[in-house]
Amino acid sequence: MTSSSEKKQKFNKSASSVLPFFTIEDLIANSVHFGHKTSTWNHKMKPYIFGERNGIHIIDVRKTHSQLVTALYSIYNAVKSGKSVLFVSTRQGVRDIVRDYAIKCGQPYVTHRWLGGMLTNWRTIVISIKKIKKYEKILSEVDDKGRHSVYSKKELGVISKSLDKLKVYFDGLRTVTSRPDIVVVFDTNKDSIAIAEADSLCISSIGIADTNSSIERLEHVIPCNDDSRKAIKFIAGLFCDTILRAIKDYVSSYNIDINNDQKSSTKNLINLNQKSSKKKDTNNEKNTETNASFSTETRQIVENVAESDSEEAVLPTTSI
């Protein structure tokens, strides 16, 4: 019978071969350990608090390191099997960072405001995404003088305003074809509705939780300073690097040679995801969740990643 220490050692060995390199010192250097005032703490965060200093709670970065490795490995395995990750961060101070990293690794994102039903009422979201594409097509057909063969200038103005409004809420979801398989939330208090919807649909959720955060319904809790741009940028960067590595390994596992034949490779990648989705639908007819096909942006990222022969540094096994 395998002991818990042997299982942990086996897990660390597997994770260290695929995850980006980071240490506990890196977490401290990026201000991950600073919490909120002791008077505003959430009692459920007690296991992740190291102590207090000058009335401020200090997060146990050893727990952060351990939880982060587990969450990253979960994301890696999901993306490697063709699944998608949704980034959610509607806090004004850090949402631009999360959006940039989501775009970099080709994943969907919500950074303006979480509208109720974005997961549970998915059909309505799909309709809104189709409207964006339809309106963009209409506006692209306007000639140099601002005229359209079907619509008047007044109608084009209304369409343009509607498009701008839709893009604010749904631009980060326009490339997805089905519900995401993992939701990463960077503020569990502000975006609690996203966590609740993910939980109701049995979608895995990962949350960045400060000492005053609610951690109910989260599958993976990452104790971290969610107010610091520096800390959020570091954590989001780790998520991005992990996803890019997973995409690269996904391509390699099917022996897709993007460098020699990009068009053929992209077609193979799409077919593989379609077969995977059909197989899942057959086994789970009542389940509305399907594996998301890689978007056009993701395929471009796959091509860029595949061109690089360099391997990421491995994660060391840290014993504290």
- pLDDT given for residue 144 in this prediction: 79
| Same domain, yes or no: 233 and 297 | yes
Residues of the chain with pLDDT under 70: 1-14, 255-320
**What is the number of domains present in the chain?**
2
* pTM for this prediction: 0.77
| Same domain, yes or no: 172 and 188 | no
| Same domain, yes or no: 104 and 191 | yes
| Same domain, yes or no: 173 and 80 | no
| Same domain, yes or no: 159 and 244 | no
- pLDDT given for residue 286 in this prediction: 42
The CATH number assigned to the domain holding 42 equals 3.40.50.10490
State the Cα–Cα distance between residues 193 and 199, nearest whole angstrom: 10
| Same domain, yes or no: 87 and 210 | yes
Q: Can you give the residue range of the structural domain that contains 259?
A: 12-111+184-307
Residue 91 lies in a domain: yes
